[in-house]
């Protein structure tokens, strides 16, 4: 692992490690510092927990931390400038970053891109002026002590390989981007106007269907076309106005749907004044204030409610389609899926399908299409070492990667750059890429079975079966997960589960939450939606097939070119 840090940074004993961990108190993921000397918690105000670059690099490679970090101390006279969320999806700096880079144009210094891929870290020698250290409006922070920066070595363009000495730029940057200017007569829409907030009677899918069926201009705006307006801001207000009508001033639904539209841009989350109100919040508030009429459904009388049957709900549970009509939920066994429509915006995508039963009943279901896809190759052991070797693969939509880094606070972009995470073109998962990879692997290895989850990629599984792969369905539930999960625990404890330190697979297992039933059976689950466990599930699916194959084999399971059991979710 090679990093292109300046030599003068490498020589200082200021290095830390960090790992992205979930904080149950705040509900957020946080970059926690660790000491490269002890492997335990590091402290930015305690130099005894800092180590050398060589120590940090060794621990990073050995124990698979998320990355390296450097602590700031006035002893070394280095100032760190952090510009948050200043790069767009094409890597272009915003107005704030451009201004700061211009201030530094006469003193070339070391600058790198932050782990999120959206920020810049600048290093310069000098003294910080008195006053604040952070301005949330500009997204700029400046520190010289009691802080640390997570490091990437991903240099900004052709930046210098040295840390320059200040020529007055520090004071200018602090004055222009840290000191808060006094506002004159600024009023927040939230604080000074009565914003009507209602509750929508439509689901997201119902709202989009009704709006597109009755308003041609809605569909044009939804797709991001603002050519009929003098500016995109006017188009933003127009779409918010239409969403406000259909959502009955339900602010959460308006914001959620706008973010799925083609008009979504970085400006939406930018703060507009000292109150902290963003451009998006202000636009929605104005639309709600100006709304004179909204879509509502006439309230039903008590008699109507009594006569009305509870609508059926269809959902996926433990790998099965379940129909719930209000009494005893039952599993559907004979049905087909018919795609209805897809929403694929710059932000995310999902597909709405009709589930049609053999008796002609039709139910609507929604499936995400921008999630992570995984498949795992498991090599059963030979008689010599008894070890199972694992080779995982992961995919994510390329167009959504930076958004997912911001939203999930997960290092997707870093993993992609390091070759652990593949990106498919567009903003949804294209299973053609995965299918092609499996076919390529089949030319190298003797793939005996393909374990698959029916909620993965139905069409891809059908295609693979035509290539003479033996497809084995793995129905997710307590019964199917218990034995292979317990076997995995035994292999890990015996150090017979070899995965090569893959950071994506490791992250998936860190997200796993074990559920237990009354009979002490177990299955994998997750506590929150941002926690992806696809790799862990695929690994256990593949291990189940590998163990059964190995135990049932009368001779070595490896043939002339090896054996792979493949699992995917």
Q: What is the pLDDT of residue 142?
A: 95
Which pTM value belongs to this model?
0.41
Q: Is 75 helix (H, G, I), strand (E, B) or coil?
A: coil
In a domain, 304, yes or no: no
| Number of domains making up the chain | 4
φ and ψ at residue 471, rounded to 5 degrees: -90, 125
Q: What is the pLDDT of residue 195?
A: 47
The token pair at 336 is 């087909």
In a domain, 1, yes or no: no
The token pair at 189 is 């829409």
- Residue at a domain's end among 290, 319, 349: 290
- 486 and 547 assigned to the same domain: yes
Q: What is the pLDDT of residue 63?
A: 75
In a domain, 410, yes or no: yes
- 246 and 219 assigned to the same domain: yes
- 94 and 209 assigned to the same domain: no
- 101 and 240 assigned to the same domain: no
In a domain, 299, yes or no: no
DSSP state of 63: H
Taking the chain (569 residues) in runs of 10, the rounded mean pLDDT of each run is 86 93 74 90 92 92 85 94 92 91 90 93 94 89 94 91 92 87 40 57 86 85 85 90 92 89 85 74 88 74 49 60 74 75 53 76 68 84 79 85 71 88 77 84 84 66 80 81 90 88 90 85 71 85 82 43 42
Q: What is the pLDDT of residue 344?
A: 52
- Residue at a domain's end among 328, 350, 368: 368
* CATH label of the domain that carries residue 455: 3.30.420
- Residue at a domain's end among 151, 177, 203: 177
Whole-number Å distance between alpha carbons of 58 and 152: 16
Whole-number Å distance between alpha carbons of 330 and 324: 7
- 39 and 131 assigned to the same domain: yes
Q: What is the pLDDT of residue 319?
A: 54
Label residue 326 exposed, middle or buried (CB < 10 Å: 0-12, 13-18, 19+).
exposed
- 47 and 158 assigned to the same domain: yes
- 350 and 260 assigned to the same domain: no
Radius of gyration of the chain (CA): 27
**CA-CA distances (angstroms) from residue 59 to 45, 51, 65, 506, 534?**
21, 11, 8, 16, 27
Domain that residue 123 falls in: 7-177
- 429 and 532 assigned to the same domain: yes
In a domain, 232, yes or no: yes
- 281 and 384 assigned to the same domain: no
In a domain, 297, yes or no: no
- 393 and 482 assigned to the same domain: yes
- 200 and 68 assigned to the same domain: no
In a domain, 303, yes or no: no
- 146 and 253 assigned to the same domain: no
Q: What is the pLDDT of residue 2?
A: 65
In a domain, 515, yes or no: yes
Whether 348 and 426 have beta carbons less than 8 Å apart is answered as no
| Cα-based angle 553, 557, 558 (whole degrees, multiple of 5) | 165
Q: Which helix (H) or strand (E) holds 488?
A: helix 478-493
**CA-CA distances (angstroms) from residue 443 to 193, 394, 464, 542?**
67, 20, 14, 19
Q: What is the pLDDT of residue 244?
A: 92
The token pair at 355 is 């589930």
């Amino acid at each position: 692992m090679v990093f292109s840090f300046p030599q003068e940074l490498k020589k200082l004993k200021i290095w830390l490690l960090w790992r992205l961990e979930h904080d149950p108190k705040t509900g957020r993921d946080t970059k926690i510092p660790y000491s490269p000397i002890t492997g335990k918690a590091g402290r930015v105000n305690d130099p005894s927990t800092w180590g050398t670059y060589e120590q940090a690099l060794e621990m990073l490679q050995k124990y698979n931390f998320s990355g390296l970090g450097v602590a700031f101390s006035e002893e070394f006279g280095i100032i760190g400038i952090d510009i948050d969320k200043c790069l767009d999806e094409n890597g272009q700096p915003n107005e704030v970053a451009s201004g700061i880079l211009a201030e530094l144009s006469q003193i070339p210094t070391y600058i790198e891109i932050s782990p999120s891929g959206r920020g810049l870290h600048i290093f310069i020698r000098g003294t910080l002026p008195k006053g604040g250290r952070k301005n949330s409006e500009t997204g700029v922070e400046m520190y010289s002590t009691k802080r640390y920066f997570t490091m990437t070595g991903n240099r900004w363009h052709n930046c210098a390989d040295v840390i320059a000495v200040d020529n007055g730029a520090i004071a200018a940057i602090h004055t222009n981007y840290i000191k808060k200017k006094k506002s004159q007569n600024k009023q927040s829409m939230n604080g000074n106007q009565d914003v009507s907030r209602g509750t929508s009677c439509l689901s997201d899918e119902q709202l989009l269907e009704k709006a597109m069926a009755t308003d041609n201009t809605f569909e044009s705006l939804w797709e991001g076309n603002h050519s009929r307006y003098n500016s995109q801001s006017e188009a933003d207000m127009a779409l918010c106005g239409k969403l406000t009508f259909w959502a009955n001033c339900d602010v959460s639904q308006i914001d959620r749907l706008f973010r799925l539209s083609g008009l979504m841009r970085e400006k939406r989350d930018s703060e507009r004044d000292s109150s902290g109100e963003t451009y998006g919040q202000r636009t929605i508030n104005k639309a709600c204030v100006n709304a004179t009429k909204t879509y509502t459904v006439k309230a039903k009388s008590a008699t109507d409610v009594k006569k009305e049957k509870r609508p059926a709900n269809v959902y996926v549970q433990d790998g099965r389609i379940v129909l719930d009509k209000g009494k005893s939920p039952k599993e559907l066994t004979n049905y087909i899926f018919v795609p209805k429509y897809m929403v694929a915006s710059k932000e995310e995508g999902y597909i709405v399908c009709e589930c049609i039963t053999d008796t002609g009943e039709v139910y609507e279901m929604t499936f995400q299409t921008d999630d992570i896809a995984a498949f795992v190759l498991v090599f059963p052991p030979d008689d010599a070492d008894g070890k199972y070797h694992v080779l995982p693969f992961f995919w994510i939509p390329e167009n959504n990667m930076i958004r997912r880094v911001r939203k999930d606070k997960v290092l997707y972009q870093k993993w992609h750059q390091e070759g652990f995470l593949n990106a498919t073109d567009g903003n949804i998962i294209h299973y053609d890429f995965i299918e092609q990879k499996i076919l390529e692997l089949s030319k190298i290895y003797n793939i005996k079975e393909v374990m698959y989850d029916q909620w993965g990629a139905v069409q891809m599984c059908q295609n693979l079966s035509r290539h003479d792969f033996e497809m084995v369905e793995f129905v997710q539930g307590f019964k199917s997960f218990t034995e292979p999960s317990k076997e995995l625990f035994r292999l890990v404890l015996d150090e017979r589960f070899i995965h090569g330190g893959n950071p994506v697979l490791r992250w998936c297992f860190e997200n796993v939450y074990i559920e237990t039933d009354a009979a002490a059976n177990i299955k994998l689950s997750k506590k929150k939606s941002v926690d992806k466990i696809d790799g862990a599930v695929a690994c256990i699916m593949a291990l189940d097939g590998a163990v059964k194959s190995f135990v049932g084999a009368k001779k070595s399971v490896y043939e002339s070119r090896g054996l792979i059991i493949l699992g995917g979710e």
